[in-house]
Structure 1
């Protein structure tokens, strides 16, 4: 059987539905919107006049490898607790793209290198806005310098935007987590919403206080770019929500979110209350040396509806994986692609600043 099918898991969600619709135009009848709700998948199929087909799939349970026969690519738009489904994909020879920002999950997928090689499959991690766009801009910033000592990444997300349930759950679950970063070449454990740093996004956004958050670009970039000090911080629009969450964390109230009813209420609150705007912003600042002098390369990107940009990144990677031969194994996005090769993302207007 020819491998020509594309399965988008979470294909009727905020990001997945965009991916399905776009791929459905290019590969009509070959794209499947997969998830636990067959009803929602069927609705999307009707809305696309059958260009996207429905598939009922529950990745929290063991998946029969036969279900992946004829599947060339799986695009994962949901968070996962373990790598069982990823392993099944890779061993079946299905290429795999993941939009997850989870550091610990990425580490588990990286351990599947042998499975990917055995199945002849390519797995691309860190696909989306953050990580994803952040990784690609970090690569561009490093290329502007002769030597890079540190990279500071700052992300602003507007709460007026539509955020998928998986993204909201991941954010709430990580408000009080501790995670590892690489600082001066050594592993260091830090806490979410600690260690504030002032970032200047310029324009209407201006200066914002941002706090550490466990985006997975902090795990991949020290290795792939050879940079010994990388940090990623998050702030939200409106600014008072960022300050509230930092205070919430400082007082230890994040522990209350371990209680399931309070966790569910927090996720519902973020999902229903649309404060602030739909805008997002990314700033990547690489600091190092250029022509024998200390220098910095700063890349800024601003826009609206981060779900769309996340989907565009996934689409660019999907088309690259389907349209060319890539090496088997598990890779971070910046190991296989760069900004110029991303047909949709490269249309976005970047602000570039070089300081020395």
Structure 2
């Protein structure tokens, strides 16, 4: 019996992963959070109150668990260490580079216990990492460009909204990329997604740039304005930040679609040569990707690795796409 503990399991991603895992034979799913009584139950799963910030409470929750899926950012390196030291598999959907780097330092702990830790699991990073590997293997280049288009109408939790606001204005630059129908050509603005920091090391590509746009062209232009240094500083002020977070949590504009595209450098592969993945509800694809990886985790080698180092990218993306998403590998797709 594979017992999976999902920390932060009542968020959008955690619920999607729990629903997918609940249907896997021989899998027991525990959905955990600090206040499970406030959330609707996930059918086919067991609810548990767990405060991951409390080491004693975490230790109690890990008894009998074979795999932990981390869907929150609560001292993740400490949580990962507690899991790996016990020989418990660990999967993390976090998108913060500093956090992932901290977990990466636990490779010796994982190897010693025979456990596997999988990082960069989800849409961004995750699907983008796999597309980047496909593109790098097909068309070696000195630079990869990753374009991310997100639906501005999808509901996101306060932590995700705050993370996005904090990323605005940290990097300069923009460029044009082609996304699958119905989006077409869009301007993406440089954004500090974690894959641009990890992919040079895992794929051996000298440079990787990641950019963000929204399905609404108007909101993308506002995003660019908000990313200017003066505006970004203003958005980080306490009261302004609180008011904006509250407004963004209540009001949604646009749809819930997403698309990610990877090309080889500026002006290269923006048409037929690019590879892309698209669909609806980014939280759904992240949860489903995590569920697929957890299913295969026992057969993967021990150690701490990013998703593109663990799975065959085309096989994984093809299976993920069969769940209602679209994978475009270009004219040479296999």
Normalised by the length of structure 2, the TM-score is: 0.89
The 5-angstrom pairing of residues 123-272 of structure 1 reads 123-145=117-139, 147-177=140-170, 191=171, 194-272=172-250
CA separation in 1, counterparts of 2:11 and 2:249? Answer: 13
CA shift, 1:93, in A, is 1.2
How large is the Cα RMSD of the aligned pairs?
Answer: 2.3
Q: Secondary structure at the match of 1:6?
A: strand
The equivalent position to 2:80 in structure 1, one of 78, 86, 89, is: 86
CA shift, 1:195, in A, is 0.2
Residues 1:29 and 1:101: Cα distance change in structure 2 (over 3 Å): closer
CA shift, 1:78, in A, is 1.2
CA separation in 2, counterparts of 1:307 and 1:69? Answer: 28
**Count of aligned pairs between the two proteins:** 324
Q: CA deviation digits over 1:184-234, x for unaligned, max 9?
A: xxxxxxx2xx20111122532122111111111112211111111111100
CA separation in 1, counterparts of 2:29 and 2:90? Answer: 14
CA separation in 1, counterparts of 2:241 and 2:53? Answer: 20
Contact 1:29–1:53 (8 Å) recurs in 2: no
Partner of 2:11: 13
The structure with the largest strand share of the pair is 1
Partner of 2:307: 333
Partner of 1:292: none
Contact 1:317–1:342 (8 Å) recurs in 2: no
Q: CA deviation digits over 1:88-124, x for unaligned, max 9?
A: 1111211111111111111111111122122321110
CA separation in 1, counterparts of 2:296 and 2:186? Answer: 35
CA shift, 1:15, in A, is 1.0
Partner of 1:180: none
The 5-angstrom pairing of residues 39-78 of structure 1 reads 39-40=37-38, 43-45=40-42, 48=43, 51-63=44-56, 64-78=58-72
CA shift, 1:303, in A, is 1.4
Normalised by the length of structure 1, the TM-score is: 0.84
Structure 2 unaligned regions, length at least 5? none
CA separation in 2, counterparts of 1:27 and 1:15? Answer: 21
